[in-house]
Structure 1
């Protein structure tokens, strides 16, 4: 891959290969019908929100493991899980959905993001838990996403899946892989989190109503939108940008004001409702902050895995993202780069490995061997009807990347 600039490598990057986490329900945390994904559990039957169509359940169950894979797995922290489950239980009662079972997942990523899928699947990240400062602010986020589900926005949005099929075809066509766990395809599926402006405002209103009726501070939605706006400004210096909650949930001054006005109209101008800052801080105390050490860190256009003393850079304009088994970079002009590992026999030449049939469209005559800073490498070109790839492999300390 010509886009990569390699630096010192002294240890195998084995930490990037993270096994897929099993997902399941944890209704015992609260005694309610709220399910929280936990590591090592098995899937449990879902009692879905009223009005949910069978197709919604199919869509949610299909995309759920793909979302998990795209975000590096489930973050397991009992105190945080209990807090989230209790908040969602109160919100569902306020939304007249007391018997519905929503699957709530805390994703192990520092990205600031929250979104919903059809069938009652709701996701929040470690990043958004770190950004919130009290229980009412997290409740505002969760209420907003529950509103998207109950208002059927998540179902309407699934028409956008057609736009993800291009990426799926690239992965299947070039690498012959299963896109169900591929980081690129899953990160593209994350774009399903984006709703139209009218849907966002409608979800704001419904979410504020749910949160206020549940006893939380109704002004928390406007307050947290302001926090996101300031965080977006702070993050603007990051050339990679932010493709998560801040882009799919824009915090414009008009939207913040509208949220504040809605709260006043529904619940009055006096400060009412629970904020519970102390309880929130106790629940998130000890929570991992920033990038997960097992996945390495991204600083601008550089990926760093400090434990393995491994780093590489990509050209300006690429947005790097980590997933369970790969590091993926995407540029706005349709270019992309992917870095992962493979099991290759020690006595197999890298040129032979490239020609072994795992790359569709490979031009065998372009495969050549190289030596870069003492690193054994091989590269070649692959082309299909729609796509052109440069593929490179390297052997470091017995591992192949």
Structure 2
């Protein structure tokens, strides 16, 4: 029996090493066993690249910004151990804050990450970190480790068929979006620090950006009311700003004389870039949601903050009150019957059902009570669609939001029928000069395009400002 086990393990290692090869890791110069060759990395990156673009809503079309990112990225690559490797830098048209790399030199930055940065050095730190994952061959190492672990657990299957090639061809982009090990993150931080120093950037700005990310994550938790919520970037990049500072401090950067921070040039490059959601998915202008492709808009109260999801809008208010808006097909069903099927509630339990005409729209409304919750519903019809509003609140607090909910429903209109709304453009990042005038920052926030609720929190997160720095430029949203 023992001989059979030894034989099985010998066969396993023969199979494992016969499908492996020694590949030099550029960042270290060491030869390491790998199940993924450099050509495999390039092929995987090329295959997964269009999938990533589709998954994240396409490429952000801004030639000035794209040229800037490419120039900065290529400069950093030239300081790496793979200066001749072709890198592809892509700005994803998404407001989420994230950055990641695929094997073969494909690096992605989201639009939301770029305008959260405070200067060129912070942006360079993010790019350098992702370059470090590529030159460190971290995806290949992660794949080799994963396959090796699976093989150890499935020796009998390995004897029957070779899963290595099958796994390699079946690997999807989701593998590369998972977080790296702390060891790989630590190594990427070390490499990023090395590249930043060689390029002349101030490496401590890399840690400062992670502080920005930590503040951004706190803001997300505050808005959503979920203390466990972690931003996408921190999920995939678990190193804290404190740990990154330890990495930076361990490196001798005495060769850097007057390191580059580059705030002015960075702000100039991002001036005018799109902020928030893509226009084709609808956008917020102050407390108005506008969807030009679907030709509708509505207003909402200052006490409500809306989040735009792909298939619905979620409004968050006090006391766990939530508002939903979405669109359904108009099936020409009786409205009371529709409310019943929509909520899976018997018609006899639907309260306060009524119809009224407001602004040439027939609006049907009702109320449903469930345990300690009260649900208000409203639908507006046109020839094709049903525009659905709902509010769920504690029964004791429902009356506090009843008027706000009704005002929101009654404000519904067609963009094409309202020239003032039709003229509103999607919000963009604008760069202004700060002022020492008392109340100046409050005025800037008041005049911005941000939703009123949390507008100050969002503004302060986008900026690192001190009212005494009158000449410092600031970011706002117009």
Q: TM-score, normalised by structure 2?
A: 0.48
Pair 1:261 & 2:246 matched: no
Pair 1:280 & 2:266 matched: yes
Q: Structure 1 residues 373, 219: closer, same or farther in 2, change over 3 A?
A: farther
Match of 1:134 in 2: 119
Match of 2:398 in 1: none
Displacement of 1:207 after TM fit? Answer: 0.7
Displacement of 1:134 after TM fit? Answer: 1.1
Q: Structure 1 residues 320, 67: closer, same or farther in 2, change over 3 A?
A: farther
Describe how 1:116-195 pairs up with structure 2 within 5 A.
116-158=101-143, 189=174, 192-195=177-180
SS at match of 1:83: helix
How many angstroms apart in 1 are the aligned matches of 2:382 and 2:173? 30
Match of 1:247 in 2: 235
How many angstroms apart in 2 are the aligned matches of 1:328 and 1:266? 50
Aligned residues: 270
Describe how 1:84-95 pairs up with structure 2 within 5 A.
84-95=69-80
Q: Structure 1 residues 55, 306: closer, same or farther in 2, change over 3 A?
A: same
Match of 2:54 in 1: 69
8 Å CA contact retained: 1:209, 1:266: no
How many angstroms apart in 2 are the aligned matches of 1:279 and 1:103? 22
How many angstroms apart in 2 are the aligned matches of 1:282 and 1:142? 19
Pair 1:96 & 2:81 matched: yes
Highest RCO, 1 vs 2 (Cα 8 Å, sep ≥ 6): 1
8 Å CA contact retained: 1:146, 1:207: yes
* Higher-helix-fraction structure: 2
8 Å CA contact retained: 2:45, 2:104: yes
How large is the Cα RMSD of the aligned pairs?
Answer: 4.3
- Provide Cα deviations, 1:50-96, integer angstroms capped at 9, x if missing partner: 99622212221222111111111100112211211111111111003
8 Å CA contact retained: 2:129, 2:188: yes
Describe how 1:23-42 pairs up with structure 2 within 5 A.
none
How many angstroms apart in 2 are the aligned matches of 1:155 and 1:297? 40
Larger-gyration structure (1/2): 2
Structure 1 counterpart of 2:296, from 298, 309, 333: 309
SS at match of 1:206: helix
How many angstroms apart in 2 are the aligned matches of 1:234 and 1:158? 35
Displacement of 1:306 after TM fit? Answer: 3.6
Describe how 1:225-374 pairs up with structure 2 within 5 A.
225-239=210-224, 241-262=229-250, 265-268=251-254, 272-296=258-282, 306-307=291-292, 308-309=295-296, 321-322=309-310
Match of 1:79 in 2: 64
Q: Structure 1 residues 371, 104: closer, same or farther in 2, change over 3 A?
A: farther
Describe how 1:15-30 pairs up with structure 2 within 5 A.
none
Structure 2 counterpart of 1:56, from 31, 38, 41: 41
SS at match of 2:48: helix
Q: Structure 1 residues 321, 201: closer, same or farther in 2, change over 3 A?
A: farther
Displacement of 1:130 after TM fit? Answer: 0.5
Q: Structure 1 residues 320, 199: closer, same or farther in 2, change over 3 A?
A: farther
Pair 1:209 & 2:194 matched: yes
8 Å CA contact retained: 1:67, 1:190: no
8 Å CA contact retained: 1:161, 1:189: no
Identify the range of structure 1 (233-242 vs 106-115) with the bigger mean alpha-carbon deviation.
233-242
How many angstroms apart in 2 are the aligned matches of 1:142 and 1:88? 6
How many angstroms apart in 2 are the aligned matches of 1:158 and 1:297? 40
8 Å CA contact retained: 1:160, 1:192: no
Q: Structure 1 residues 243, 52: closer, same or farther in 2, change over 3 A?
A: farther
Displacement of 1:372 after TM fit? Answer: 5.2
How many angstroms apart in 1 are the aligned matches of 2:191 and 2:133? 9
Displacement of 1:104 after TM fit? Answer: 0.7
Match of 1:170 in 2: none
How many angstroms apart in 2 are the aligned matches of 1:155 and 1:340? 44
